[in-house]
Amino acid sequence: MSSWANPGSIDLHLDLRETINPGTRGVRDTLLTALRDAVRSGRLAAGTTLPPSRTLAGDLGLARNTVADVYAELVAEGWLASRQGAGTWVVDSEHLKRTRRPQAQPRGALGVPTHNFLPGSPDVSQFPRSAWLASTRRALNSAPNEALRVGDPRGRTELRQELAGYLARARGVHVSPETVVITAGTRHSVEILARMFGPARPIAVEAYGLFIFRDCITATGGTSVPIGFDEMGADVADLDDLDTPGVLVTPAHHYPHGVPLHPRRRSGIVDWAERANSFVLEDDYDGEFRYDRQPVGALQSLDPGRVIYLGSSSKSLTPVLRLGWMVLPGGLVDAAVASAGGHQWFVDGITQLTMADFIATGSYDKHIRRMRNTYRRRRAELVRRLAEFAPAVTVSGLCAGLHLLLTLPDGAEPELLRRAGEAGVGIAGLSRLRHPLAGNHIPQPDGVVVNFGTPGQHAFPHAVDALCAVVADTLR
């Protein structure tokens, strides 16, 4: 492979030779690194117009899609800018060098932290743009005219069929296309179910968990009530004292503590649901990302008649697709559709058809495998760096997912959050995730949640530097 290119009138001296671990890096990643280094070093000055993707691909002997995908990713990361009719050019390289220094930086535009470890997102710089675009084209080319109208209120048949196959294979869910309902994400699913259950009885939730679910239950006119938590996960025995239509849990990987629900409690919670004529709402928010052993299968497989399975593309692809799904007991499908308004207004049909093709062609599985390896390496690096703060700081939640929980010395959480805010490091405080009605019998340690999936690939090392600097300053 050529190590330089001469497209037109400019020379791009790009080192594409794999001098480290030959053969282990793909040409896409090699080209990404070479272009980043060229901009960072100033060899590609600010304002330099890059050659068209077709030209550069021909010079380097690469596929045009590979170069186009690299250009798109570097635009998303802020190294390049692009506009139709004007080409692609290098942005202010001095600005890039300043914002990529390891020291802490203030918050950027719209309050987004410079070093973003906040929950709710994977690394969107790794979104598979080319594969998604190819799926969109195929979906549109093959879609019948009726697919462009509002159709089945459960969602497009094509997507429900593909999801049924994927969830059965990858997560062990007992599912048919008829029991799948497409939603605009897990929060939307919880809102639909809260309206379906009605406000008369509170919905049980884990004592620690994402506040957005408590908030959406409240927004429907309902209330939530916490159940306890310990090293075995949610304390399902607390449910025996409650009159509730359902309980929302994260059994595969508790958020935020990161432990799986103990096998005895997994069977116990479905036994409770049967006795109480209630339902378990299983939030399988990151079930695909298991690192140290085989994934914990879906709780729904133990009792498909009492467990409602909730999933989305938010952690696997990007939250902005607003694409989620519920697998419901057959007798609840009509009630859930009615609670949603009786029509599929929430996810556009083109996105649904694209996702169906993305799964059917194996692109979704390929992306999951690639990102699982990426996140495994990030987790290992973060754990290695944080080890220098032991035993004052303990790290948990290591087995799966995109986040770690850092347990801090008593009283350290507010100070760490203050310093992090000043330094532009986005992290979530553990206290914010605690249910306001959780009793004193539930431990209240100081801690923060670090989502190592959020930072862009190029930004991750500097984000870790900034986080460790904040922790060190807090403990000093």
Under DSSP, the state recorded for 190 is: H
Q: Is residue 111 part of a domain?
A: no
- pLDDT above 70 for 287: yes
Q: Output the pLDDT for position 291.
A: 79
Output helix, strand, coil percentages for the chain, rounded to the nearest 5: 45, 15, 40
Alpha carbon distance 376, 384 (integer Å): 12
Confidence of residue 7 (pLDDT cuts 50, 70, 90): very low
Q: What are residue 381's phi and psi, to 5 degrees?
A: -65, -45
Q: Is residue 294 part of a domain?
A: yes
> 364, 387, 406: which is the final residue of a domain?
364
353 and 378 co-located in one domain: no
> 364, 397, 421: which is the final residue of a domain?
364
Residue pLDDT, tens place only, 304-313: 999 999 999 9
376 and 360 co-located in one domain: no
Q: Output the pLDDT for position 424.
A: 93
Alpha carbon distance 389, 319 (integer Å): 33
Give the mean pLDDT of 468-474. 96
SS3 for 350?
Answer: helix
**CA neighbor of 321 nearest in space, from 342, 345, 347:** 347
95 and 159 co-located in one domain: no
360 and 389 co-located in one domain: no
Q: Where are the beta strands (DSSP E) in 207-357?
A: 224-227, 229-230, 233-234, 246-249, 279-283, 307-312, 324-327
Q: Where are the beta strands (DSSP E) in 115-261?
A: 115-116, 180-183, 203-206, 224-227, 229-230, 233-234, 246-249
> What CATH number does the domain containing 393 carry?
3.90.1150.10
Average pLDDT, the chain: 87
Residue pLDDT, tens place only, 171-195: 999 999 999 999 999 999 999 999 9
Alpha carbon distance 295, 383 (integer Å): 21
302 and 319 co-located in one domain: yes
Total domains present in the chain: 3
Q: Is residue 278 part of a domain?
A: yes
Q: Output the pLDDT for position 372.
A: 93
282 and 316 co-located in one domain: yes
**In this prediction, what percent of the chain has a pLDDT beyond 90?**
63
Q: Output the pLDDT for position 356.
A: 98
Q: Is residue 120 part of a domain?
A: no
**CA neighbor of 406 nearest in space, from 446, 455, 454:** 446
Region of poorest pLDDT, from 95-104, 243-252, 445-454: 95-104
Range of the domain at 450: 371-475
Q: Output the pLDDT for position 106.
A: 44
> 52, 80, 100: which is the final residue of a domain?
100
Alpha carbon distance 148, 84 (integer Å): 27
- In this structure, are residues 269 and 247 in contact, taking their beta carbons and an 8 Å threshold? yes
263 and 394 co-located in one domain: no
**CA neighbor of 299 nearest in space, from 338, 330, 334, 327:** 327
Q: Is residue 59 part of a domain?
A: yes
- pLDDT above 90 for 140: yes
Query: In angstroms, what CA-CA distances link 69 with 59, 74, 84, 247, 386?
Result: 16, 9, 16, 43, 34
350 and 409 co-located in one domain: no
> What CATH number does the domain containing 89 carry?
1.10.10.10
349-360 helix and 363-386 helix, angle to the nearest 10 degrees: 80
Residue with tokens 């294979």: 169
Q: Output the pLDDT for position 103.
A: 36
141 and 209 co-located in one domain: yes
Q: Output the pLDDT for position 216.
A: 93
359 and 443 co-located in one domain: no
CA dihedral 306, 312, 314, 319 (to 10 degrees): -110
Alpha carbon distance 367, 20 (integer Å): 24
Higher pLDDT, 46 or 86: 46
Q: Output the pLDDT for position 92.
A: 65
Beta bridge partners, 181, equal 326
146 and 54 co-located in one domain: no
53-60 helix and 64-77 helix, angle to the nearest 10 degrees: 120
Residue pLDDT, tens place only, 90-104: 886 444 444 443 333
205 and 343 co-located in one domain: yes
Q: Output the pLDDT for position 99.
A: 42
Structure tokens at 189: 């699913």
CA dihedral 18, 20, 37, 41 (to 10 degrees): -120
- pLDDT above 60 for 295: yes
Q: Output the pLDDT for position 453.
A: 93
Q: Output the pLDDT for position 39.
A: 83
Confidence of residue 11 (pLDDT cuts 50, 70, 90): low
The enclosing H or E element of 127 equals none
Query: In angstroms, what CA-CA distances link 103 with 109, 283, 461?
Result: 18, 37, 11
